[in-house]
Structure 1
Amino acid sequence: MKRRVFALVLALCLTLSLAGGAGAAEEKQARVVFERTAPDADGCYSVTMTLYDTTFRVFQFALRYDPAAVTPVDDTGAAAQTFGDFAHKDPDWITPVGTELNTQTGLIDVSGFIMPGTTGPMLDELGQAVVGSDGLQVYTFRFRQTGAGEDGLQIATQEKGEPYRPACPQGVILAGEAGEIPVTVTFRTAQSGEDGDSQDFTGSGDTGGKTVEGLVNQTIFLEIGTHRAVVEGGVSAIYPGEPDVTAYAHDNRTFVPVRFVAERLGADVSWEGDTQTVVVEKDGHTIRMQVGSLTYTLDGQTKQLDVPAEYKASTGGNSRTMVPVRFVTEALGYQVEWEAGRNLVVIAPPQAHWDPAGAAEQQAMDRVRELLNRYGGFV
């Protein structure tokens, strides 16, 4: 029988309206405005992303720019290499997850959600952000005009036939406890005032725009009891040459190797040997966990675990630090499922809207099992 490790809030975001959804028809249309400033003498300009008239818990926007005409830059004007170089998030109670900059294709993935238990000045009792007509600025992006061509942003969708995000083929996801939220997206300049290029997005429907390929490529799968994993659609060893380091379960808890998982979620991991503390840094946040302790800290705030991190013996007398999957969900913000029938730990980003019973998810796990069976013996 499948054991739900974490009741993902985004699954609720895709359900039908709950009791709190009454009267939604009287609310204003949700809006997201991307507003561009005038370029300075060096051709640099900013684009702000602001939400209006909505109650939300998660968002994902797949954006596209013309790499031949525009370069993302940092505050000094130097070319950006990563999302964090050119993008600045404003509310500290929104957790960025899956954000990405692809300078080759000009794709930008702007994703975030509000972690359960988070408090903030605009959050209701359900942990959703309630935004009115004054708006909530969530991001500021920095660009420089470097060539002739279109210098603005656009929504990257599969329909356009250009590069797009397989995990978000419709380009826009905005959701709250009552489900996906229809939203109007507008791109404008400060000089144009309320005028701008606008497009309505009604939501992706029951499937969330999911594809098997997209789910497999953006989700991490670890096989319980072996050193094999599937990452970005390919089979790999958790640690090459260390077959003893595996995902495993004991005392009704599932453990995963913290460095392997965290680094593949885009985090930096370091080890403080004198205190036996793992330090994980991601998107401006710092997590510190001491082996054997039932507490860890997230940006200095103490959090609780039901079981502590522990060591797993490895090749050559070494050891690896293993953490309970609750740590992955609560500290790193990812959904974790244990698929007992296929012997898999599934670690999915919030924007995947992973539904263990979903048809696309079932096919994705079958694909993973096929990959492991076919290529697992080579790692």
Structure 2
Amino acid sequence: MNKIIKRLSALLVVALILISAMCQVIFAEEAAPEAKMQRAEFIVSEPDENGCATASLVIYDSKFSGAQFGFSFDNTVLQLVDRETKEPSEEFNKIATLYDYKTDAGVHDFKSVGCKASNAEGTLKMAAYGMQSAVSDEGAAITIGEEGFKLFDFSVKFLKNEDPCFDVLDTLDRVYPKDAFIGDGKSQKATSLKFVFPESFNLEKEAVVYEPVLPEPSLKVLREERLVDTLMLNIGNFAAIDDGYLKVIDDGNREVVPFIEGDRTYLPLRFIGEAFGAQVNWNPDNQEITVALNDIVVVMNIGKAEYTINGEKKEMDVAPFIREDRTFVPVRYIGEALDKAVYWDGALRLVIVTANESPWNPEGKAEKDILPDALLLMSELVRDMMLPKAE
């Protein structure tokens, strides 16, 4: 008997370790807002009567403390020139103007390093790194949005009104095959780059655009992204997974569960709405429920099939009703009302509600990886261990 007890105890310990490890995987950290891909533009101004113009390197949507770019150009069309004399020059400091970034806290000084200009080769290589003198929580890195930040100006002269054939130089680096990237002091990333020409050039082709091929996100990243705005519920189960976290649908009453009745799947309206950040109000006088989510306002009444979305009248084939002191509505109408995508797995009796723009894909890499963990987490044994009843 003692041997059996010891064996069961050992199995329980192993199970707890597995459960703990699994929970660490499925629980997603609070996801940061989706970041725009950092980008840069090389913008050429309208040439004057002598063909002289300014070409500016502008950084957008980036957190950076340094940037490096290398361009090639047709030297029979364009020359780099001294900004004062407008004569051809290969002295970088006479061709280029490097700008600092000023904030209320001070100035982020940028220094050019390893820069090279060659009219003979038709190449321009530039690199600038921050030497911070301002106090900032971000350290030497600065954050630039859509407003952009002009890092360099270059003096150029067109020998003829033709396409200068700008392109991004190749590198010998396998990670960065093109010489266009921005660093934030911790890492460097390939950068989208666009060459913008004056309208007067009337170029038949569009401006050259370089879009780096980014590495495929890791499975961990895919899982975290997939779990954001994803709500998973099991028929008959008082627990749900919301953004990767196991939660009780109604902590005060564990009889509040999704259920099937008359070939329809019903979900608790308040829990679904609040899981996606909606404000849910109940008026007991007229038994009216108001759900406000972003720019959507939904009004329903108990016992009435008619409801409104932003004042527009709609009708369900069954009316909302109260069970266990909670309002239940068919899942189809919850999706329609809150502008959400609903996925139903009949075999698993599983409902998954997501943002409309990112519906659940049962064949997706992240979805296939998440599902077994989610089902285990919502299973009776694990659920009851993770969500013990309040005394």
Higher Cα Rg, which structure: 2
Answer 1 or 2: higher relative contact order, Cα 8 Å, separation at least 6: 1
TM, length-normalised to structure 1? 0.46
Scaled by the length of structure 2, the TM-score of the pair is 0.45
